[in-house]
Every structure is written in C-alpha cells, then in structure tokens.
C-alpha cells in the first residue's frame, strides 16, 4: 500500500498540480528554436566548435548523457582525478589561448555532482570571450555584452553564485550574428 501511495499516487497528484500551475517547468523547461527542441534549461550539452562557449566538463556517461547522471566520485587526493584536472586545465588554456600558468576557474576543469550542469561561472565565460569573438568575427565588447545579458544572479538573490546559461548564450550568439561556418 505504501509503495502504491508513494510510488504512484503521490507523483501523479504532484504532476497533476504542477502541469497547470507550472506548465513549462513540468514539461522539462525545454528550449525551442523554430518549433524544434534544442535543449533544456536544466541539462547541459556539449559544444566543441570554437565559436561557442564551452560548458563545464561532464562526468555523465559519454558527456551530458542524462541517463547516466552522476559525478566522477574521485576525491581530490585521487591520482586519476588530479591527472584528469591537470589535463583539462592544459586543454582549457590551450583552447582559449591562455598562458600555461594562467589561473582558471574550477568549473572550467571539474564536473558538477550531476555531470549535467548547464551553467558556467562568469569568470569561466570571461576567459572564453576572446576565442568566441575571434571565431565569430565580433568584438570582445560585443560578446562580453551578450555574456552579461545571459548571466543570472544568485537564486532568490542570495542562494548560490552568479551563473551564465551556456545554451541560451550560444543560441543568442547564433541569432545575433551567425558564425562563418554555419
């Protein structure tokens, strides 16, 4: 009886309440362009081309696989974790044209607990601006303004830290001025 109540009745009642009150959220907060679903506000996805802002690394399956959500589960003293972070830092610096000893934000080289985080820190975005601007033929100031428009403050004004929505930013950049390769 408890399984039936907690596993079937309760979720059905919650969904029945949530769907009319919060239709967008209850449907996965899907982002559409020209009627086509291109992603979700809450699940990150991989961008590899230089004209796009890169999300933080994912430990979920084969990169942002929502069916394999989860972190790497390595502690900071684990040699595999240390080597992976060092390699990710080297790759990040090279991709963004930074000096080998440049300080980079932690979210540029580590995954979130779910491995599906759709956001990056403003500091991470700032270090990617030059690459994206160059690849798109835009000024760094123009790209910086786009980053600012897609930066959200802490939730409710005090929970968490400011964050940049990568998918929404990349879509806005495509709409503002498509890259030469599209």
Domain ranges of the chain: 1-29, 41-176
Position 81 scores a pLDDT of 87
Query: Does the pLDDT of residue 178 top 70, yes or no?
Result: no
Mean pLDDT score across all residues of the chain: 87
Q: How confident is the model at residue 145 (pLDDT cuts 50, 70, 90)?
A: very high
pLDDT tens, position by position, 150-176 = 999 988 889 989 999 999 999 999 988
SS (H, E, C) the chain: CHHHHHHHHHHHHHHHHHHHHCHHHHCCCEEEECCEEEEECCECCCCCCCCCCCCCCCCCCCCCCHHHCCCCCCCCCCHHHHHHHHHHHHHHHHHCCCCCCCCCCHHHCCCCCCCCCCEECHHHHHHHHHHHHHHHCCCHHHHHHHHHHCEECCECCCECCCEEEHHHHHHHHHHHCCCCCC
Position 123 scores a pLDDT of 97
Position 65 scores a pLDDT of 74
pLDDT tens, position by position, 57-97 = 887 777 777 777 776 677 888 898 899 899 999 999 999 99
């Amino acid at each position: 009886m408890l399984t039936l109540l907690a596993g079937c009745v309760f979720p059905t009642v919650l969904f029945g309440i949530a769907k009319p009150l919060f239709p967008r959220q209850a449907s996965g907060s899907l982002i559409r362009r020209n009627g086509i679903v291109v992603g979700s506000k809450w699940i990150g996805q991989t961008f590899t081309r230089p004209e796009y802002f890169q999300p933080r690394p994912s430990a979920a399956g084969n990169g942002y696989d929502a069916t394999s959500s989860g972190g790497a589960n390595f502690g900071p003293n684990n040699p595999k974790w240390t080597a992976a972070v060092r390699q990710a830092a080297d790759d990040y610096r090279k991709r963004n044209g930074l000096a080998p000893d440049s300080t980079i934000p932690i979210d540029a080289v580590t995954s979130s607990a779910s491995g599906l985080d759709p956001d990056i820190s403003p500091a991470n975005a700032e270090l990617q601006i030059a690459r994206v601007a160059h690849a798109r033929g835009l000024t760094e100031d123009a790209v910086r303004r786009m980053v600012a428009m897609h930066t959200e403050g802490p939730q409710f004004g005090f929970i968490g830290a400011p964050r940049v929505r990568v998918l929404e930013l990349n879509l806005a950049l495509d709409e503002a001025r498509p890259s030469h390769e599209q």
